[in-house]
Amino acid sequence: MQKVMLQNKKRLLFFLCIFTFMIIGLIGRIAYLQIFKGDYLKLLADELHMRERDIQPKRGTIYDRNGVPLAESASVATISVIHNQIDDPEEVARILSEKLDMDYDTVLEKVNRNLALERIKTGVDIEIANAIRAENLSGVMIDEDYKRYYPFSNMASQVLGFVGKDNQGIIGLEVKYDKYLYGIKGKILTETDARGIEIENTADKRIDPIPGNELYISIDVIIQQYAEQLLEKVLDQKEATRGTLIVMNPQNGEIYALANKPDFDLNEPFTINDPELEAIWSGLTNEQQFDYLNKMWRNFAINDTYEPGSTFKIVTASSAIEEGVVALDDTFSCPGFRIVADRRIRCHKAGGHGTQTFIEGVQNSCNPVFMDLGERLGPETFYDYMVGFGFNEKTGIDVPGEAVGIMHDVKNVGPVELATTSFGQSFQITPMQLLRAGAAIVNGGELITPHFGTAIATPEGEVVKVLEYPTEDSPISEATSKTMTNILESVVAEGTGRRTYLPGYKIGGKTATSEKLPRSSNKYISSFLGFAPADNPQVMALLLVDEPVGIYYGGTVAAPVVKELFENILPYLGIEPKYTATELEMDGVGDYVVPSLVNKEVKDIKKMLQDDKVTLEILGEGDIIIEQFPLPGEKINKDSKIIVYVQ
């Protein structure tokens, strides 16, 4: 009996110990969950009973160098539905389809989707959103949103870029500076029951969004608009396929204008700009459509490479001067060709230039002269200079998708490759790479970084970041730079660039006529690289006209366009003309103070400007002037043009 009682006591003690350990474990578990995991479990509970909706931040504005908005965000709304909270799906679909101008079946399908939150439409005008709100539809959410728009539509389209439906950048500056422009999303938290239905008499919790910062860029709207007008005019006149015109400060790399044609409407970036493609658009596959859109969005000046032709001769000449293999008074013979290895390589002048000095060879853009310079330099040294000018690397410009030059492997450079490279053939670079090298050749020998972005500021206008860009030494000295600047000025005064001569200004530059591959296609790129004033370069421009019809020489097609650009933007930039005594005696030379023409009749202004011997260009239809360029009070050359807009 005692043995049985002892066994029972042991059994009871055993179970008591187990029970005690379970109580201690339970208390420990509760303590762990309450103390160590309490915050985490509370968060999970909140997430279970809280429905979260994003509030889009206002994207920062992009301004030009003078504070003119180029990309802005306007208040709109996003319409969404919560399936579990809808009482009458058919009625909700009917009202939303009518208000939003959408197909009823499409809306009904979205309304019936059993999702936590289904978006019906974004970018809805505030007036329409308010009308939907007035219907007081259960389960319909109306949230604040922003829509990006571009006041100048097509202007600098490949540079500025655009945003997607989520207001994030897709191409151009919009994507490059997205982390500054986008901002931080806010949230609306709604308390719900286990079925996801909103609990009545509970207030939503709101976390306000933080708007994005503003971006200031170096583009000048006035210069950009004028560059685009000139580019479009020359492309129309020459029936060319495309073109680009870049205007840059060669001292610091700030880009005042970059125009590409064809372009596209930034407010409708998925609308193709080719009428022939538009006619067959619906029959193309998604892949084909996207391929054509990518081509339309490409920035020719940065994303594509080409053979530069004779504009590259400034690199060959600079390298030869720096290396000491040529003197300014060295003489060369040009019979119209050079025999290199087993090849007869001709000069652009079939009969040849005869005997000429080095400077005259540059003025005449004589191929044999530059082939001789290339031979004197040798492939290894010439290659080192090309690398030194940055043709084997990206320029570092602050837009995505930049291409890099396609150069020969120096091990494979024979006499023919060396000869053709010396005058700008058999390799490819981007227009921006050429512009960067050209800037180094005239600014004292410094390789700058071309760029658009200058500063980041808060929405209140406080600058929080000044954007800075690296510079490095080029392979030429300041003395060589000065010599080349003088030679290139003589190209305009006496050589192939004389159609860019502008009284009162010292203009330097180099023309080019690049024959495209295959050579048998007889297609060309006409170009001109110019800068002013030659004694202190403040502005440099590069124009490319791709596949002009008829006359295709760079000196005839491109040079006059850059002259027209300079004669209008140099006074605008505050660069005053300095006339020689001979120039002052020329017709149309001298200053002219632009009068105020707005709100005046065209017929009266025509007569007044005709008497003053000033050219007038009229844009639009109508009798009354509503806008003018240049602005009243600005000084221009008498042979400059005044542009007016009428209605």
Active site residues: 310
Is the preceding peptide bond at 518 cis, omega within 30 degrees of 0?
yes
What is the rounded distance in angstroms from the CA atom of residue 184 to the CA atom of residue 174? 16
Pairing status of strand 472-473 against strand 446-447: antiparallel
Helix, strand, coil share of the chain (percent; to 5): 40, 25, 35
What is the rounded distance in angstroms from the CA atom of residue 416 to the CA atom of residue 196? 76
In the sheet with 615-620, reading across from the earlier edge strand, the strands are 615-620, 641-646, 625-629
What is the rounded distance in angstroms from the CA atom of residue 277 to the CA atom of residue 292? 9
The three-state secondary structure class of 370 is helix
Dig out the tokens for 329 from the structure: 């008074």
What is the rounded distance in angstroms from the CA atom of residue 60 to the CA atom of residue 234? 35
Q: Transcribe 214-232 into DSSP letters.
A: EEEES--HHHHHHHHHHHH
Dig out the tokens for 521 from the structure: 């296609």
- Nearest in space to 63 (alpha carbons), one of 166, 145, 163, 173: 173
Question: Cβ atoms within 10 A of the Cβ of 414, count?
Answer: 11
Residue that has been written with the tokens 């103390």 in this structure: 35
Dig out the tokens for 472 from the structure: 């490095």
Question: Cβ atoms within 10 A of the Cβ of 634, count?
Answer: 17
Helical axes 559-572 vs 221-238, angle rounded to 10°: 160
The amino acid at residue 231 is L
What is the rounded distance in angstroms from the CA atom of residue 136 to the CA atom of residue 306? 61
**Exposed e or buried b for every residue in 378-405, given b needs 16+ CB within 10 A?**
ebebbbbbbebbbbeebbbbbbeebbbb
